[in-house]
Structure 1
Amino acid sequence: MKKNKSMIMKTKSKYIWLFATLLAVSACSSDDDSLTTSIEAPKPELSNGEADFSKYIAVGASFSGGYTDGALFIAGQENSFPNMLSQKFALVGGGTFSQPLMNDNIGGLVAGTTVLANPRFYFDGSGPAILPATPTTQATNVLTGPFNNYGIPGMKSFHLGVAGYGSLNPYFGRMASSAGATVLGDAVAQSPTFFSLSEIGGNDVLGYALSGGTGVDQTGNFNPATYGANDITDPNVFATSFNAAVSALIGANNAKGVVGNVPYITSLAHFTTVPHNPLDPSNPDFGPQIPTLNNVFGALNPIFQAIDPSRAIVFSETEASPVVIRDETLADISVQIATALNNSPTFPAFLAQFGLDGSNPVVVQLVANLLGQTYGQTRQATENDLFVLPSSSIIGQVNQTYAQFLAGQGLPAQVAGQFAIEGVTLPLEDKWVLIPSEQASIKTATDAYNATIESAATDNGLALVDFKGILEEASTSGIFTGDYILNTSLVTGGLISLDGVHLTARGYAVMANEIMKAIDATYGSNFEASGNLLNVSNYGVTYSPMLQ
C-alpha cells in the first residue's frame, strides 16, 4: 500500500461541466407558457391592506443580512431579502431602508491586519474557491446609524438581548448604537410599524451541525455561521428569547410583522454534497491499493465479526466504497482489539509485510495498541451519515499530524503515512460527519423552535412563512418559480450559494416572494394578485471574481 495524497476524485470536479450548463440556463427552463396565448384580466391596484410599512425593521441573522458565498459584501447586502422587500413596500408607503454596508465586494472582516473572516467564495471552474484578495472592512470602524436591517451573521436567539454584544460579534459591533447596545434594543428604538423576524433559531443548531456535532469551531477564525458556543440552544432558552423579541417589536406601536420557521438545515448542500461512498476503484490513486487495504483490515475483521459484525471494513474492487469513520456512539473496543492482536499467532507475519519486526514483543504490543486505539470506535459510513462540505478536501489525504505521531511512536515514516490516510486507514473524526443520532438532535431542537415560532405567530396575529416546507420541497422535487426549477444542489441548483448554506440572490428573491405571499394572506395586502412579486429571473446565482 503506497503512500498517496489523494485516493478519491475531488468532489468539486464534477461541477465543471455542470456549471457550463448553469451559465446557459441556470436551471431547468419551462417554455410551456409560450405555446399558448391568453388575454389576462386587469390586475388590481397594489394595496398594503392592514399593514403599515412606513418604518420597516428587519431582525434576523445572516440570511436577513444578505450573507452569501461565505461572506457579507455590498452586492449580497443589496440583494438581501429585506432590501428587496423594502423596495416593494416603498410602493405602498414604505420609507427609506438603511443597511450597514461593507466596504466592498470582497467580503470578510479585518481588525487591523488580522483577518477575522475570509473573503467570499467564487466559482473557479471546478468548484468553490476563496477569492484571492484581502478584506478591507475594518471591524473597529463603527458606522453611523440608525439602520433598518439588523440581520447579524452568527447571531443566535439568546444573543438578541445581550448587552455589549457588539464586543463579541464584530458584525453588530460596526453598527451598534453604543458599546453596551443590544441588537433588539437598537431595532426597537426605531419604532417599527412593520417587522420581519426571520431565521432566528437557524444558528442555534447550525454551529453544532457545521462542526459535525462536536460543538467545536473548525476554522480557527471568526466564523459568522458558528460564532459562540456551538452546542444546540436549549428550546426553553430559545422560547424565552423569541417571545421576548416578538413582544418588544410589536411594542407600543402595535406593529404588525412576519416571522419564519426554521428548516431542517441538514437538507442544505453543505451536508448533502459529499457522498458517504466517494472511494472509487477506478481512481488510479485508490483502486490499486484495495487488495492491500483489505489485507490490512483482514487482520481486524475477525475481531469485529466476533464483537459487532457491522464494524467490518471491506473495500470493493467493483463499486464505490464508503469511507471509514469514528462513531462515538459505538462501544469502545480498543482493549479487545489490542488483546486479540497481541495473542494472535498470525499477527507477527502481518507486521513483517510492512517491514516491522514481528518477533519483537515490544513492537507487537506497540502496534496492537495503536490499532486498538485507532479502530476502537470505527465503522464504514452508510447512506444515513452526512458529511460536511469541507470533508471533500481531506478524504484520501495523508493526515501529516497523525503520521508524525505514529512516526514518533517508532513506526517507519512510510508505514506511518500508510496508516494516516483520512477516511481510509485513519477514521474520519467526528467533526467531519453528522451521524444519525446527531441529526436527530438537530431535528428535535428544530421542531421545538418551530412550535414556539408558530405559537407566537398565532397568538399575536403575525404572518408566518413556512421556510421548513419550502426547503423540503426544494430538496426533493425542486421549487418551480418563474422560468426555473430551483433545488438545493451545490453550484447547479440555483438556490444555495457556494458556501452550501446561505442563499443565492435568486434564492433570496424566492424568500422575499414567500414573505409577501404570507403578508397578503394575513394582512389583506395584494402583492401577488397585483403582479408585484419579484421576478426571480432578474436575480443571479453567482458573482464574478472580478466584482471586488
Structure 2
Amino acid sequence: MIKNFKWVLIASLAFVACNNDDEVTIDSNSSDGKPLTAGSAVVTKYVALGDSYAAGYSDNALFKTGQEGSYANIIAQQFALAGGGDFKTPFMADNVGGLLLGGNVIAGTRLYFNGSAPVAVTGKPSTEVTTKLTGPFNNLGVPGAKSYHLVAPGYGNVAGVAAGLANPYFARFATTVSTTVVADAVAQDPTFFSLWIGGNDILGYATSGGTGKDQKGNLNPATYAGNDITDPNVFASAYSNIVNALTAKGAKGVVANLPYVTALPYFTTVPFNPVALSAAAATQLNAGYATYNGGLQAMVNAGLLTAAEATRRTINFKAGANAVVIVDSYLTDRTSFGIPSYRHATAEDLVVLPASSFIGTLVGGNAAAVNGVSVPLADNWVLSKEEIAEVKVATDAYNVTIKSIADAKGLAFVELKGVTDKLASGGIVYDGYNTTSTFVTGGMFSLDGVHPSPRGYAIIANLFTEAINAKYGANFKNVNVGLYRILYPASL
C-alpha cells in the first residue's frame, strides 16, 4: 500500500511540474491574450495627420476634453502599451471651445443638448490664435484642412488667418510661418503614422447646399473657394505627395477611405416633407402658385419646356404632409420669361440640418410669406439630387486613389465608407451597444451632425486598430466603447 502511494505521489508531482512548465500568462492588454505586440509595425514615434476628425472636433467646436478623446489619441494610448512614446497634442485653452483672434471671437463655443435642442454653452473662448504653442506635436489634425492644405506652405501663418489665407488652428502650433503640416510631421522622423484626409474636399460643398462649384478639370486649387469640390487629380497629387513624404524613411502607417458625407445626420435628419397643412391652407397656397403653374404650361405649349419637366416643377399642396418648395438651379432656366426655377423637394433631395429651425418661419413677420412654403427655400438649404451625385462621383474618385496608394505602399487600410452605410441602416454593435447615425440619440455623431461623439471616436479608433492588427500582425486591444459617453454635458 505504501509502495503504491509512493508512485502516486511521484506521478502527481510530475503532473504539477508539467503544469508549471506549460503555464500560460494572459495579457489583458492584447486582443488575443497573448503578449502584446505591434507586429511588424514600429510605434515608438506616432504622428497623426488629418482634419477635424483627427483633432477631436465635436459638437461644432474644438475643445480640450474632445481632443483627449480623438481617435488619434485613443490609438496613441494603445500604442503606449507596446513601446509607443509620448503623443503630444496642441490642446485648446478650455472646454468652452471657439477661438479668439486679437481678442475677437472668430469661432463660437461648443454645443450641448439642453433636453430639447442643441444650444451653445455659455462663456467666451479663451483660446487665442496668436498665442504660439511649443511643439513639436504628434497630433497634426487640423480642423478645416483639405487634402492640398497639408502640403501648402504658409497654411499656419497667423498673419494670413484674418484674410482666410491660413488656418487658425494650425497657426497656433505650426513650427514656422512657411512650414506645411506634412513638413512638421516628417521633421519628427515618425516610425508610424495615421492619415485620414479628404472629407473637407467635399464637405463644404455639401453643407452649403451645393452653392459652391465642382472644380473637376481645374488643377489650380489656389482658385478654389472654400465650398468647392476638389478636382480628383488635385486630390490624387496631394495625397500621393503626403504619403511619399511620410514613408520616405520607411515609416509604416494606416490610412482610411471616405464615406459619403451625405450619409451624415446633417443631411438625413430633416425630412423633405415636413409641411403639415389643412385642406383650406393647401387650397390657399395653390391659388398663390396658380400663375407659376400656368406659366409652366405656357412654356410647354411654346415648346420651351418638356411636359415631364413641367410636371416636376408644378407646385401642388394637399391636406396632410407636404414637401417643401425649393429653388433648383438644375432646372431649365426660364427666368427670362418670368418663370422661376421652383419645384417641390423629393425623397432624392437632402434638406440640411440648420433648415429645421428655418422652415416655417416668416419673412419680415408676414404671415403670408412662409419659408419653404409660400417662399421657396434657396439653394443653400437643400442638396439636390444632382448635387448629391456630384458629391458621390468625387468621393468615389478620391477613394480609388486612397486604396491604390495604400496597396502600393503596403499600408493598413480602414474601410469606413461601408461603416457609415451600416450606421444609417440599423447601426453597428460594439460591446453590446447598438450605435446608429440618428441625430442626438444614435450615439455615433455629435450635435453638429457632422463630427463624431465621444463614443463615435472610440469606434473609429477601434476600426483603425483592427486594420493595424490585420496588416502588421499586431494584437492591440479594442477599447470598450461603453466607457465613452454619447454626448458631452453642458459643464466639463
Normalised-by-shorter TM-score class: 0.7 to 0.9
Q: Output the TM-score relative to the length of structure 2.
A: 0.85
Give the match for residue 25 of structure 1: none
Per the alignment, residue 9 of structure 2 pairs with none
1:492 partner SS: coil
Aligned equivalent of 1:271: 267
- 1:209 maps to amino acid: A
SS at match of 2:255: strand
Within 5 Å, give how 1:181-200 maps onto structure 2.
Answer: 181-198=179-196, 200=197
Pick the aligned partner of 1:538 from 479, 483, 490.
483
Give the Å deviation of 1:494.
0.2
For residue 303 of structure 1, report the CA deviation from its aligned partner.
Answer: 3.0
Aligned-CA RMSD value: 1.7
Matches within 5 A, 1:47-446: 47-167=37-157, 168-198=166-196, 200-215=197-212, 229-252=226-249, 254-281=250-277, 289-306=281-298, 307=300, 308-317=310-319, 319-336=320-337, 338=338, 372=339, 376-400=340-364, 417-418=366-367, 420-446=369-395
SS at match of 2:151: coil
SS at the partner of 1:160? helix
| Helix, strand or coil at the partner of 2:458 | helix
CA-CA distance at 1:422 after TM superposition: 1.2
Take 2:373 and 2:122, find their aligned partners in 1: how far apart are those partners? 32
Give secondary structure in 2 for the equivalent of 1:92. coil
In structure 1, give the amino acid aligned to 2:171: G
SS in 2 for 1:485: strand
Cα deviation digits, residues 61-113 of structure 1 (max 9, x gap): 00000000000001100000111011110111100110000011000101133
**Matched AA of 1:379:** R
What is the letter of the counterpart of residue 183 of structure 1?
Answer: V
Give the secondary structure class of the aligned counterpart of 2:48. Answer: strand
SS of equivalent to 2:254: strand
* Structure 2 contact 458–484 (Cα < 8 Å) conserved: yes
**Contact 1:305 1:311 (8 Å CA) reproduced:** no
Residue 418 of structure 1 deviates from its aligned partner by 4.9
Q: Any conservation in 2 of the 1:305–1:312 contact (CA below 8 Å)?
A: no
Structure 1: distance between partners of 2:376 and 2:434: 38
1:291 maps to a residue whose letter is T
- Cα offsets for 1:496-545 (capped at 9, x unmatched): 11000000110111001111110111100012xxxx21000000111111
Deviations 1:302-332 (A, max 9, x none): 3334531221112221x21000000001112
Q: How does 1:472-487 map to 2 (within 5 A)?
A: 472-487=421-436
Q: Determine the C-alpha separation between the residues in 1 that align with 2:455 and 2:324.
A: 35
Offset, 1:276: 0.4
User: For the residues of structure 2 that align with 1:262 and 1:300, how far apart are their CA atoms?
Assistant: 42
Residues 1:515 and 2:464 are matched in the alignment: yes
CA deviation after TM superposition for structure 1 residue 298, in Å: 2.9
Q: CA deviation at 1:419?
A: 5.4
Q: Distance in 1 between matches of 2:87 and 2:456?
A: 21
Query: Whole-Å Cα distance in 1 between the matches of residues 316 and 48 of structure 2?
Result: 53
Contact in 1 for aligned 2:360/2:370 (Cα 8 Å): yes
Q: Which residue of 2 aligns with 1:4?
A: none
For 2:271, the aligned partner's letter is: P
Structure 2 alignment gaps of length 5 or more: 1-30, 158-165, 214-223, 301-309
**Distance in 2 separating the partners of 1:209 and 1:42:** 42
**Does the C-alpha gap of structure 1 residues 42 and 66 become closer, same or farther in structure 2, counting only changes over 3 Å?**
closer
Contact 2:32 2:475 in 1 (8 A): no
CA deviation vs aligned residue, 1:358-383 (integer Å, no higher than 9, x gap): xxxxxxxxxxxxxx4xxx10001100
For residues 204 and 232 of structure 1, the distance between their equivalents in structure 2, rounded to whole angstroms, comes to 6
Q: Go from structure 1 to structure 2 and tell me whether the alpha carbon gap of 1:189 and 1:280 turns closer, same or farther (over 3 Å shift).
A: same
Aligned equivalents of 1:79 and 1:477: distance in 2? Answer: 25
Greater RCO, 1 or 2 (C-alpha within 8 Å, sep 6+): 1
- For the residues of structure 2 that align with 1:304 and 1:228, how far apart are their CA atoms? 35
Aligned AA (2:312): S
- CA distance, structure 2, for counterparts of residue 485 and residue 149 of structure 1: 29
Query: Closer, same or farther in 2 for the Cα pair 1:299/1:390, shift >3 Å?
Result: same
Question: What SS class does the counterpart of residue 165 from structure 1 fall into?
Answer: coil
- The question of whether the paired residues in 2 share the 8 Å contact of 1:108 and 1:117 is answered with yes
Alpha-carbon shift at residue 288 of structure 1 (Å): 5.7
* CA displacement at 1:178 relative to structure 2: 1.0
Cα deviations across residues 24-48 of structure 1 (Å, max 9, x unaligned)? xxxxxxxxxxxxxxxxx98222211
Structure 2: distance between partners of 1:420 and 1:134: 36
How has the CA–CA distance of structure 1 residues 42 and 456 changed in structure 2, closer, same or farther, with 3 Å as cutoff?
Answer: closer
**Amino acid of the structure 2 residue aligned with 1:203:** N
Counterpart secondary structure, 1:290 = helix
Shift of 1:228: 5.6
Q: Runs of 4+ in structure 1 displaced over 4 angstroms?
A: none
CA distance in 2, matches of 1:180, 1:330: 45
Counterpart position of 1:499: 448
